[in-house]
Structure 1
Amino acid sequence: MRVKMGRKVAGGARLVTIGSARYAVDAHTLRQLEVIPVAA
């Protein structure tokens, strides 16, 4: 499954796209996530 980090929105949140769904994830939650980049 592909996860894409989008632009920043109000309050430091960021748009995150997972498949066809989009979520606004707040700055505190983003800092808690472990991100492992992979080659496209």
Structure 2
Amino acid sequence: MAEDKRVSMEEARKDDMKHRRQDYAVIVLGLILVGIAKVVA
């Protein structure tokens, strides 16, 4: 029982990392777009 809980925690952590990486990519893209807009404007 405890083993199952630990495995699901590992899976949850992996999913969390995946989502965090996606969020980070979106933020970086946003900053790049803002930078380009400022240069062009």
- TM bin, normalised by shorter chain, reads under 0.3
Q: TM-score, structure 1 length as denominator?
A: 0.19
Where relative contact order (Cα < 8 A, 6+ residues apart) is larger, the structure is: 1
Considering only CA atoms, is the larger Rg found in Structure 1 or Structure 2? 2
Structure ranking higher in strand proportion: 1
**Higher relative helix content:** 2
| TM-score scaled by length of structure 2 | 0.19
